[in-house]
Amino acid sequence: MKSLIKKSWSISWPMILIMFFEFIISLTDVYIAGKLGKEYQAAVGFVSQVYFIFIVVVNAITMGTVAVVSRKWGEKNREELETTISSVFTLAVVAGIILSTLGVFFAKNITLKIPIEIHVRKIAAEFAFFYSFGIVFHYLLILSNGVLRSIKSVKKSLLTMFIVAVSNVALNFFFVFATPIGFRGVALSTAVSVFIGALINYLNLKTLVNRLVLKIYVIKKVLKIGIPSGILQIGWQLGSTVLFLIINSLKENRVEVMAAFTNGIRIEAAIYLPAFAFNMANAVIIGNLLGENKKKDAFKNGLVTAIMGTIVVTIMTIFIIIYAKSIAEFLSHNSVVINETIRYLYISMISEPFMAWGVILGGAMSGAGDTKTVMKNVLFSLWFIRIPLAFIFVSVLGFGASFIWWSMNISILIQCFLMTRQYWKKRWMEYVL
């Protein structure tokens, strides 16, 4: 058991810190937006949801890459390893350039047509335009981080993300408060910092990315695993966007509740990101062990990692419940926003340990290549439970925002049950790459 815990922890703790740095970046965005006003805070939250729809392509590629590369690393197949990494980097560059270009030319106009509060919409459109410049570099950063953890070089990824976080925070304050760019600096700082991170990671991996190639058989294998993950992320982000629209249909305090939701999900990210760190660690561990044909160890290690992650998340949940008021007051000076943020935290924290357990087991199945099962379970709980309940509570019955938060809890409990049931069936261990 000690060896299993040691193996899980050796990959998990750097991933936790990486997620922490990403959390600091997003929290800084919300904090600075809150200093500018509730409309800016609401706009940051909304655009963040839309922005990650653009990022979903590379997240899907990265999921498939991690599953394949971790297997190849376990098999010690150097030639296939280099071919796979070079091919996915080429794919990421092409996809990133295309989507970054589309974002620069169309994101602003599309955002202006979305039916949300007019003042929030105009600010969000400016954010969307400036975020678009960094998409291609964000693609390379995300993919290279995935490759580094797959080949057991996660500490290099950790150093990169530390530099990215420091750069992002410093540039945020500089652009917003010391230049004519103003509030647009929130987005521009992200674009510049991910460029810095992508450059550092390329230097870390240049011996494995020695040429630009695009092997079709590699891309097919990666996309077979990655596409379900991409569909899942699109479905998830669209679901979050729909929740913003449902909030926009509230009878009163719509902007305040939207700002509170923005604050709440950023605070919740302090919990979700460590859970996702264990999720990604589990994917690498399972991939490496299956590559070594150690199926029993893979099953046990997946459970050990899930238990460790759930304990960490539970401790963090208790901390946030205790200090919910202080945290909410730190992020906003509007009394309505503060009160609704506190209410969101008290309700949503109930389901966090269950969220962690399901997410981390999902990481194990994804690392084995069985992303379809994970996709089906999550999207079912989101689109057949969470969204319909929230719509009925608010748009049909006319209830308040707290009923949206309760619908989120119910969907997470169902998702946790589905993930646990599928993990114990062990079908994911037979997935062939």
The terminus-to-terminus CA distance of the chain in angstroms comes to 28
Other Cβ atoms closer than 10 A to 234: 17
What pLDDT does residue 433 have?
66
Contact 81, 73 (CB under 8 A): yes
Quote the pLDDT of residue 432: 65
Q: Is the dihedral of CA 334, 337, 340, 346 positive or negative?
A: negative
| Token pair 């062939």 in the structure block, residue | 432
**Which residue in this structure is represented by tokens 């420091």?**
166
Residue found by looking up tokens 């460790």 in the block = 308
Distance CA 377, CA 373 (A): 6
Query: Comparing C-alpha atoms, which of 128, 150, 30 is closest to residue 80?
Result: 150
pLDDT of the residue at 103: 84
Which residue shows structure tokens 């509060």? 117
Q: Cα dist. 426→11, 19, 167, 284, 365 in Å?
A: 23, 29, 43, 17, 9
CB-count burial class (<10 Å; 0-12, 13-18, 19+) for 3: exposed
Tell me the pTM.
0.79
- Rounded Cα–Cα distance for residues 413 and 355 (Å): 7
Per-residue three-class SS string for 374-423: HHHHHHHHHHHHHHHHHHHHHHHCCCCCHHHHHHHHHHHHHHHHHHHHHH
Which residues in the chain come in under a pLDDT of 70?
1, 49, 210, 432-433
Going by C-alpha positions, the residue among 75, 78, 63 that lies closest to residue 147 is 63
Residues near 45 by Cβ (< 8 Å), separated by ≥ 6?
30, 244, 258, 259, 261, 262, 263, 265, 266
Alpha-carbon distance 288 to 195, whole Å?
30
Question: Tell me, what's the pLDDT at 132?
Answer: 86
| Cα–Cα dist 263/219, whole Å | 38
Residue 360 · residue 420 · CB < 8 Å: no
* Distance in angstroms (rounded) separating the CA atoms of residues 366 and 373: 9
82 CB-side CA count, 13 A: 9
Half-sphere exposure of 347 (CA within 13 A, CB side): 19
Domain map (residue ranges) of the chain: 2-430
312 closest CA partner among 345, 363, 282, 273: 273
Q: What DSSP string describes 117-156?
A: -HHHHHHHHHHHHHHHTTHHHHHHHHHHHHHHHHTT-HHH
CA 69 → CA 23, 81, 179, 299, distances in Å? Answer: 27, 6, 43, 19
- Residues 242 and 379: their CA atoms lie apart, in Å, by 14
Residue of 84, 196, 192 whose CA lies nearest to 146: 84
Q: Return the pLDDT at 228.
A: 93
Q: Exposure of 14 by Cβ count < 10 A (0-12 exposed, 13-18 middle, 19+ buried)?
A: buried
Task: Report the 10 Å Cβ neighbour count for 379.
Answer: 18
Q: What is the largest CA-CA distance in the chain?
A: 61
The count of residues in the chain is 433
